[in-house]
Amino acid sequence: MRAIPTLKISISGVRGVIGESLTPALLTRFAQAFGTYVGSGTIVIGRDPRTSGEMVKQAVIAGLLSSGCRVIDIGMCPVPTIQLLVRHHHAHGGIAITASHNPAEWNALKFIGAEGLFLSSGEAREMLDIYHQGAYTKVAGAEMREVEEISGATDLHIQKILEVLGPLPQSAKSLRVVLDACNGAGSLVGPKLLEALGAEVIPINVTPNGLFPRPAEPLAENLGDLCTAVKEHGADIGFAQDMDADRLAIVSEQGIPIGEDYTLVLATLYVLGKQLGPVVANLSSTSVLQEVANRFNCPLFLTRIGEVNVTEEMQKENAVIGGEGNGGIIYPRINFARDSLTGMALILHLLAETGQTITDLVNSFPSFSLIKEKLVCPSHKISAVLRMLRHEYANYPLDLRDGVKVSLPNGWFLVRGSNTEPIIRVIAEAEREADARAIIHRVYAKVQECVN
């Protein structure tokens, strides 16, 4: 097999490995292409704490200024804060400098449009066209501006959350929360928000120095320290963020990770309890979400995977809550973005207002078993895999909007190629764990056979 590439240019942006393919010249050209795409408008930029962040930021600034943009630099902050600030400043776009859950040697640019939403696939293709054609807007020196550095972007974010949700209700006992920010972009703002809400905070991994104390994805297997801390401190809940603070995972008061999927489930439970309306999620989300929607008699719409697909559908359906099964909560009254800060506020309100524990809340739903696997797959083999599955499962209901999703009598599975890495993802869910395991074993084996 070929070596895994160190550069990935796609509709999700450009990502690559520092010291290899992600060079400052390439980044500058991308920023010029984006500046050209937005017509030399106002651009908000921010970054996560990766060690390469400053270099990447300067390359981006050079490209944006050169194409005549006004640049507002909000410094180190969560991606959803950048998205919020794009709206707040009525900017023409934004660039988030983060490789989200990729390891420390990676970095990336993610492009944000005028409303704070990531570029849709169509918009991203137009921008990539400009990049590849290489004819960028270049303004004369006299038309170039200074960078506007703005501090307090995250304070504005906290303020917005408090405005919409308010502090936690005064009760006999304040909630005790352990926060694991993965030394990421949420390191400084997370504890501040939790205090502002009125919770008691025990922070771990809140040194934003670009060193990863654990793998960035808030998956159960990466949350050992958090689980221990929750038990040690007798906390009511543990929160885990990823590097760019868009995703949120929860550890119960017993020190057990409840699974990323339940973040959206619990947030939806809280929001629908306050306001009925449509819910939007991607088609790899847990069936528990359907149970929640049914409980409130609200419609659930499933979309292709990717934040922008969810946010666009939410706008179309006027949804009250949405998100993704990987722990991304989108609450439009605050922000049209996957926002772990908003997610924490929603979940804590749920705990405070119901007086129930996380374990109780999770147990109030029929249990489903959701299993996620992935395997390395060269991109040119993905279509053969999908073709094989379409053929093999032709007699079952198929959803072909994003990879192949098959509804089986006792569960479902989804197989799709990743947008960001040369891997193929296999996800299966069933009410009984044994069924889920059986499905994933069977499908995984078929996919592996096809790849080899």
Who's near 188: CB < 8 A, 6+ residues apart? Answer: 76, 154, 206, 208
Tell me: does residue 27 bind another protein (CB under 8 A): yes
70: its two tokens = 């006004």
- Which of the residues 185 through 224 are near another protein (CB under 8 A)? 209-210
Binding flag, residue 32, another protein (CB under 8 A): yes
278 phi/psi in degrees, rounded to 5: -65, 150
Task: Enumerate residues 87-106 that contact another protein by CB under 8 A.
Answer: 104-106
Query: 24 vs 378, which CB is nearer to another protein?
Result: 24
Q: Residues for the chain: how many in total? A: 452
Residue carrying the six token digits 């499908």 = 443
Site residues (CB under 8 A) for another protein, limited to 59-78: 59, 61-63, 65-66
419 binds another protein (CB under 8 A): no
Q: For another protein, give the closer residue by CB, 149 or 360.
A: 149
Binding range to another protein, per CB under 8 A, among 1-9, 140-148, 176-184, 381-389: 140-148
* Strand 200-204 versus strand 404-408 pairing type: unpaired
DSSP assignment of 405-433, as one string? EEEETTEEEEEEE-SSSSEEEEEEEESSH
> Does residue 18 belong to the site contacting another protein (CB under 8 A)?
yes
Spot the catalytic one: 12, 66, 67, 100. Answer: 100
* 100 part of the active site: yes
Size of the site for another protein (CB under 8 A): 42
Q: What are the start-end ranges of the E strands in 89-199?
A: 93-97, 106-112, 148-149, 176-180
**409 interacts with another protein by CB under 8 A:** no
Alpha-carbon torsion (108, 111, 117, 122), positive or negative: negative
- Give least dist CB 3 to another protein, A: 17
CB 393 within 8 A of CB 406: yes
Interface residue with another protein, options 1, 4, 7, 20 (CB under 8 A)? 20
Which has the closest alpha carbon to 162: 342, 27, 330?
342
Residue number with CB closer to another protein (144 or 400): 144
Phi (first) and psi of residue 414, to 5 degrees: -135, 135
Nearer to another protein, 73 or 313 (CB): 73
Minimum distance of another protein from residue 368's CB (angstroms): 39
Which residues does the annotation mark as catalytic? 100
Contacts with another protein, residue ranges (CB under 8 A)? 17-20, 23-25, 27-29, 32, 49-56, 58-59, 61-63, 65-66, 104-107, 138-147, 209-210
